[in-house]
Chain A
Amino acid sequence: MNRVIADYLKRWWWVFGLTGIAHAAVCWFVPLSDGPIKHFFPYVMFAGPFLLSMDLHRGHARVLTALPLTTGQIAKSLWMAAVGVPAVASVVIGLVVGGVSWVFHRGVPFHFGSLVMICVANIFWLGATFFLLTGLPTRTADGWIARLRGIFFGSLWGLSVGGAVIFPNFLFRTNAAAMVTYAVLAGMSLAGWLFAESFVLERAGIRRSPAGAARRPARYQVSHGLGGIPLLIRTTMTRTVSIGLTMVGVMMAVVFMEGRITSLDRAFDSVIPAFQTFPFWVVVMFQTIPIVMQLRLLRTLPLSPMQLSLLLVILPVMSILVLGLGCALLGLLFAGAAMGLKVFEMFLLSSIGLALIAPAMVWWGCNRQTLVVSFFFIFAGSVAMQFPTGALKLNEVMIGIFWLVSVAGSWALTHRGLRRSHRAYRVEASLAAWGNSGRI
């Protein structure tokens, strides 16, 4: 058990390091202001079950079940690695950095309560997201109940990433709201612990009951219709845009349900911070990665490297822009033209990061460098998004030129990578091994 946890920590130490630094910064500054906690997210977003999900995608659960460990031991190990250790580290960092901050800010009112709230919120958020991970759909899930369950948990999982940015705005606004939030998160954490064992079995692709005997007779006919690249474009764009818009809708609905915001413009305004991260991840997860997963296949089809690189760069960019257009229209309807334009500019800047992910994936495969570059683009994008309205105001022409140069450069790099690099075509890097959890 300890070896499993140690192996996990050894492989992901750099993520723990980076998120630990971000968490330390939060714990340094937050106790200095008297208000609801808003910024506990950097640590729980990236150092918890989100990280574990990366391993699971690569078939880690299947590997672990082959080791001389019981399923219960594996489940406990994974829970400890994804929840226990990060939670303890979060508290230790909070107390140490908070204590040092207190020493440096003797004359300033210091709110230890906020520090404690951050640490507790971190613990429960980690536990709750582990529970959401246990309910995520697997590729082998069959039947409408499994599908509905998958959609429900998948939506909440998506919201837990974007939601970690916006939910603190109102979930911890009052003591009563905070108590209810903590109670719900604690319940989910407990459920996560209880479901961990069956989760390991499911992710290892081990059926707990015999497959249904009443299998439909196979159809040995191929239905006609759209095929080739048009099918790829339609499938991935429809999926990405619809998931993205649904998430925006759910976020706005959650804000309304909280009851403190009653006007549409303010509800829309409150979900805007989430636009800095969630569209990027939605497109990466539902479009870029599925295309990169089949890069080896795509390279053996009659597509030139020029066409394929264009597809790899432009398709995610188009998707995020279509998603941005939808959100900008909502902004236009609810909060006026200026808001609509601001939202579209945010998506335009996000699309630059997405375009630059393509050459990273082709040159390096989906490995550590690519992940670091992705995180860098998210943070750089968050900074860049301050430009349109902030002190370093950029006009539309400059943004347009920047966008064009970035996309064209990305295309050129991707094209070169497709011709010269071999990494993305190899199993270990190409994600061809991802989804092994579904193998029976």
Chain B
Amino acid sequence: MNANAIEIRGLVKRYPAFQLGPIDLTVPSGAIYGLIGPNGAGKTTAIDLVFGLGKNDAGEIRVLGLDHSRAEIDIKRRAAYVGPDLNFQVWGKVGRAIRFVRGFYPRWDDAYCEQLMRVFGLGEDDKIATLSFGAKTKLSLLLALSRRPEVLVLDEPTTGLDAVSKQQVFAELLKAVESGERTVLISSHGLGDIERFADHIGMLKGGKLLLEGRTDEIVDRFRLAEFFTMNGTTFQNRPGLTIVKRDENRWRALVDQNTDAKRWLEQGGAKDISLTRLTLEDLFVSLVKEEEAS
């Protein structure tokens, strides 16, 4: 088994008004990797390129150790994609869509498929057109999981799902990776879910990868610092320090504990510095705001 399920090196994709990359991204085998970022950050573009939906202008993508353009069919046999834009409606009924997709995968697991149909409440005769948005996502997930993929790539799978459905989806995802043989790359705006389920995260913003690593390490690395200043002392953003809010002499800033930002604050005249642990969502908002502020 390869140490990394997906390796992206120097990936660049240029559009007239947007450029993704260059980015380096590594999804370890057996991990649940959360790709997060604000709207328009380039998450879907990156995922699309993995599946050959468009051509990268530079860089290399390797999935399960295979080059994504040379071994395209092999990769697509072993990897599955779930996204909100997949259209099964032309197949009319759930059963026909399943029959169509099953025809591509010799290792298709009928028993698991039927079990998922029960869990997700999708009958063979259900009309796809009348399914709710969430049920369509479940169908997409069912079609992906039933082929027992080694790599599962999910683009916004929880959008439009209620709390119960979301739990069902994540429960199935966790089951899928519990043996350690499967890898999940998931892009989502549900940061609470990502923090809870993903063991690795990558944060994209404006086409660039801001952060990547183990979720607990990243969340642990940053702290929200609250402090006071006197005599009109001011601070500016610098590597490892992001000013989040200033209310006269009261400050809030994001501090990267891997840097000497805290010491720099103390030396600069910050008083009563208190550090608070952040959630992934707080961290995300602060980092996104950092770039907006700058």
Contact A301 B101 (CB under 8 A): yes
- Is A222 positioned at the interface, with any CB of B under 8 Å from its CB? yes
| Per-residue contact bits, chain A 382-396, to B (CB 8 Å; 1 contact, 0 not) | 000000000000000
Interface centre among A140, A216, A224, A227 (most CB of B within 10 A): A227
- Is B291 positioned at the interface, with any CB of A under 8 Å from its CB? no
CB neighbours (8 Å) of A140 from chain B are 127, 129-130
CB neighbours (8 Å) of A431 from chain B are 87
Given the known interface contacts A140-B130, A223-B95, the answer about A422 and B124 at a Cβ–Cβ threshold of 8 Å is no
Main SS of chain A's interface residues? loop
| Residues of A277-310 whose CB lies within 8 A of B | 290, 293-294, 296-297, 299-305
Contact B127 A299 (CB under 8 A): no
Query: How many B residues are at the interface, by size bracket?
Result: 35 or more
Binds B, one of A171-179, A345-353, A371-379, A432-440: A432-440
- Is B88 positioned at the interface, with any CB of A under 8 Å from its CB? yes
Contact A425 B48 (CB under 8 A): yes
| Per-residue contact bits, chain A 204-234, to B (CB 8 Å; 1 contact, 0 not) | 0000000000001111111111111111100
Q: What is the distance, in angstroms, from B13's C-beta to the closest C-beta of chain A?
A: 8
Contact B114 A228 (CB under 8 A): no
B86's partner among A223, A300, A440 (CB-CB below 8 A) is: A300
- Is B230 positioned at the interface, with any CB of A under 8 Å from its CB? no
- Is A147 positioned at the interface, with any CB of B under 8 Å from its CB? no
Contact A302 B90 (CB under 8 A): no
Given the known interface contacts A139-B129, A222-B110, A304-B72, the answer about A296 and B86 at a Cβ–Cβ threshold of 8 Å is yes
Contact B89 A139 (CB under 8 A): yes
Cα–Cα distance between A229 and B101 once the two chains are bound (Å): 9
Contact A222 B124 (CB under 8 A): yes
| Per-residue contact bits, chain B 55-83, to A (CB 8 Å; 1 contact, 0 not) | 10000000000000000111011001101
| Residues of B98-120 whose CB lies within 8 A of A | 98-105, 110, 113-114, 117-118
Residue of A with least CB distance to B144: A300
Contact A294 B124 (CB under 8 A): no
Q: What is the distance, in angstroms, from A130's C-beta to the closest C-beta of chain B?
A: 23
Contact A222 B113 (CB under 8 A): yes
Contact A293 B90 (CB under 8 A): yes
Given the known interface contacts A139-B89, A297-B88, the answer about A220 and B100 at a Cβ–Cβ threshold of 8 Å is no
Contact A302 B52 (CB under 8 A): no
B73's partner among A296, A302, A439 (CB-CB below 8 A) is: A302
Cα–Cα distance between A219 and B94 once the two chains are bound (Å): 10
A222's partner among B77, B99, B127 (CB-CB below 8 A) is: B99
Query: How many A residues are at the interface, by size bracket?
Result: 35 or more
Residue of A with least CB distance to B108: A227
Contact A228 B129 (CB under 8 A): no
- Is A427 positioned at the interface, with any CB of B under 8 Å from its CB? yes
- Is B260 positioned at the interface, with any CB of A under 8 Å from its CB? no
Contact A304 B73 (CB under 8 A): yes
CB neighbours (8 Å) of A303 from chain B are 73, 76, 104
CB neighbours (8 Å) of A226 from chain B are 99, 103
| Per-residue contact bits, chain A 72-100, to B (CB 8 Å; 1 contact, 0 not) | 00000000000000000000000000000
Cα–Cα distance between A305 and B123 once the two chains are bound (Å): 33
Contact B90 A220 (CB under 8 A): no
Contact A218 B85 (CB under 8 A): no
Contact B100 A232 (CB under 8 A): yes
CB neighbours (8 Å) of A10 from chain B are none
- Is B1 positioned at the interface, with any CB of A under 8 Å from its CB? no
Residue of B with least CB distance to A232: B100
Residue of A with least CB distance to B119: A220
Residue of B with least CB distance to A229: B103
Contact B90 A420 (CB under 8 A): no
Given the known interface contacts A222-B113, A231-B103, A440-B130, the answer about A425 and B77 at a Cβ–Cβ threshold of 8 Å is no
- Is A160 positioned at the interface, with any CB of B under 8 Å from its CB? no
CB neighbours (8 Å) of A227 from chain B are 99-104
Contact B52 A435 (CB under 8 A): no
Cα–Cα distance between A38 and B53 once the two chains are bound (Å): 48
Residue of B with least CB distance to A139: B129
CB neighbours (8 Å) of B81 from chain A are 300
Cα–Cα distance between A293 and B99 once the two chains are bound (Å): 18
Contact B125 A218 (CB under 8 A): yes
Contact B118 A220 (CB under 8 A): yes
Interface centre among B48, B53, B55, B77 (most CB of A within 10 A): B53
| Per-residue contact bits, chain A 136-165, to B (CB 8 Å; 1 contact, 0 not) | 000110100000000000000000000000
- Is A430 positioned at the interface, with any CB of B under 8 Å from its CB? yes
Cα–Cα distance between A321 and B44 once the two chains are bound (Å): 39
Cα–Cα distance between A228 and B130 once the two chains are bound (Å): 23
Cα–Cα distance between A229 and B90 once the two chains are bound (Å): 14
Contact B90 A425 (CB under 8 A): no
- Is B33 positioned at the interface, with any CB of A under 8 Å from its CB? no
Q: What is the distance, in angstroms, from A328's C-beta to the closest C-beta of chain B?
A: 29
Contact A293 B87 (CB under 8 A): yes
Cα–Cα distance between A337 and B55 once the two chains are bound (Å): 50
Q: What is the distance, in angstroms, from B274's C-beta to the closest C-beta of chain A?
A: 46
Contact B102 A222 (CB under 8 A): yes
Cα–Cα distance between A226 and B90 once the two chains are bound (Å): 17
B99's partner among A225, A425, A440 (CB-CB below 8 A) is: A225
Given the known interface contacts A302-B73, A435-B89, the answer about A222 and B103 at a Cβ–Cβ threshold of 8 Å is no
Q: What is the distance, in angstroms, from B124's C-beta to the closest C-beta of chain A?
A: 5
Q: What is the distance, in angstroms, from A285's C-beta to the closest C-beta of chain B?
A: 12
Of the A-B pairs whose beta carbons lie under 8 Å apart in the complex, a sample of 15, sorted by A's number, is A139-B127, A140-B129, A220-B114, A227-B104, A232-B100, A294-B87, A300-B80, A302-B74, A302-B76, A302-B104, A304-B73, A420-B55, A421-B54, A430-B85, A432-B86
- Cβ-closest 7 pairs across A and B: A228-B103, A227-B103, A218-B123, A139-B129, A422-B54, A438-B129, A300-B81
